[in-house]
Each structure stands twice: as C-alpha cells, then as structure tokens.
Amino acid sequence: MGAASIGHRSDSSVRGRLVSDGRVRLALGVLGCVALVAIFAPMLAPYDPRLQLDISHLQSQPPSFAHPLGTDTFSRDVLSRLMYGTRVSLTVALVAVFLSATFGTMLGAIAGYVGGAVDAIVMRVVDAAFSIPAILLLIVVIALWGNLSVVTLTLLLAGVGWFTISRLVRAETLAIRDADYVVAARALGASGWRVLTRHVLPNAIGSAVVSATLSVGNIILLEAGLSYLGIGVRPPTPSWGNIIEEGSTRLSDVWWLTLFPGLAILVTVFACNALGEALRDALDPRQLLPAHDDAPIRMNG
C-alpha cells in the first residue's frame, strides 16, 4: 500500500520513463521489425537465398518488380539474402555485445573498486589487447583453429569486444568509489559486494549501456570485415557483412548490392543508439523535475 495510492507517479519508475519516451517507441518499432524479419525469414523471403536463379548468365540485375532489391553477381535474390542475413548478423551482434558488455562491466567495476594488483593486472591485459587491432587478433585465432562455426565466431567477437567497456566502467568506478554516498554506504556497514552492486554499478551502468549499444554497429562491421577476408560468416550463408563485401568491388555498377544491406546496418545501429541514449536518460533519475517546492517543515514532537 502507501506507495501506489498516495500520489506515486507512474512516470517516476525507469520503465514508466522509457515507455513515455518517443525515441524508445521508434527504436523498439524498428528493432522489432528487424527482429520479426529475422524470425520469419523463411516465410517472408520471396526466394531461396542460395538459389542461383539464372545459372546460365550469372549476372546482377538492378531492382525490379520480380526482385525488389535486385540480384547479386551469382544472380541470387538480394531481398531474400538480406532477410536471411538479418538472422545471422543480428544474432551474432546482439549475443556478442551482450556477452562482452556483461563481462567487461564486471571486470571493469571490480578492477576499479578493488584497485591495487587486481586493477593493475586487468588494465595491463586491456592495454596489451588495445595495442593489437581486434581484426588481427581474430585472424590469428582463426588461422590457428581453422574453420569456425557461427557460435565460435560470436564468442570470439565477444572476446575482443570487452576491452573498451571494461576501461570505461573502471574509469566511472574510480570516480564513484570516492563519492560521498559510497563512503556513506560503507559507514553504514554495507559489505564490499553490496557497495559494488548497489552503489557503484547502478551509477556506472549508464555509460556501459551507451557504449554497448554503440558497439552493436562495430560488431556488425567487424563481422563484415572478417567475412570479406573469407574467415567470417562463410558464403553461401548470407550475412549483412558478406553481402556488402561481395558488392564492394563493384560499387559503381552493382550499387544495390551494397546500398540495401548498408541501409539495414544504418537503421539498426541508429535504433540501437537511440535506445541506448533513452536508457541512459531513464536510468538517471536526475532527469526528473523536482516534485515539490521547498515546503515549510515542522518539527515532529
């Protein structure tokens, strides 16, 4: 009782603030559509994405009524490939980002809060990782272990994605660690774990969330880059990345091969960023206006 009945406004919850945010509705709408396409690709796609329709000519056709987004250099339907590619690209990116963000946040927060040797070791690992381009790291791993499944690829992408977030969260944690409310929480008898999970992480999570949504685009592009080198998602399995890379050599004449998957990436990344920003704002209660002016206070008793 009490809370809900006495003027507790629905929009002061994180969820309430998210629902009332226009950006969130738009972003969720876009991402929802993309997800639906991914889930129902077999029903929505007009052709088999691997079917070479005109085997005798093997040439790309520009968009037409039969092929709204044209056909590729193997005369496969681009719309169908794009739809199936959504499944691969979106799953790989989202799972990889989720894993790397979770891991990076935990590690960064622990390093920042505990400090000392733990911090030094974690941050030297991150420094070392930063000095090698992610793509190079991936190439080495893939060269060592050869043909990789999509699951392994996802894990690898997650494995090279956590550095930025852990460094970011560590920096936030360092600032928050000495904040008065953290000292106050310790003075009230909170354990280290409680201080970390209740006081440090919720205040540091905003930047991690924003960074994670931004990295969705990066992961999609990284996967595309690997696919271009022939070591990412392997044809004939379509991904947004390998469709673009397939068309990138013939950008001047077969433009529809790069444009449409490019737009798909753009719209998805944009929606993720909008969602991330809205989430950051919603997680910050300071966005709320004061509910009351200073009212005169009477002593009690």
- In angstroms, the Cα distances linking 205 to 11, 59, 249 are 21, 50, 41
| Least separation in angstroms between CB 203 and other proteins | 6
| SS3 of residue 250 by DSSP | coil
Cβ closer to other proteins: 5 or 56? Answer: 5
> Partners of 71 in the beta sheet?
77
| Least separation in angstroms between CB 40 and other proteins | 39
Does position 22 interact with other proteins (CB under 8 A)? The reply is no
Cβ closer to other proteins: 1 or 143? Answer: 1
Spatial separation of the C-alpha atoms in residues 106 and 126, rounded to whole Å: 14
Cβ closer to other proteins: 72 or 172? Answer: 172
Phi then psi dihedrals of residue 71, to 5 deg: -125, 160
How many other CB atoms are found less than 10 A from the CB of residue 171? Answer: 14
Residues 165-204 that bind other proteins (CB under 8 A): 178-181, 183-191, 194, 198-199, 202-203
Nearest C-alpha neighbor of 161 from the set 118, 204, 220, 114? 220
Tell me the per-residue interface mask from 219 to 258 with other proteins, x by CB under 8 A, - otherwise: ----------------------------------------
Spatial separation of the C-alpha atoms in residues 128 and 165, rounded to whole Å: 15
Residues that bind other proteins (CB under 8 A): 2-3, 6-8, 12, 115-116, 178-181, 183-191, 194, 198-199, 202-203, 283-286, 288, 290-292, 294-295, 297-301
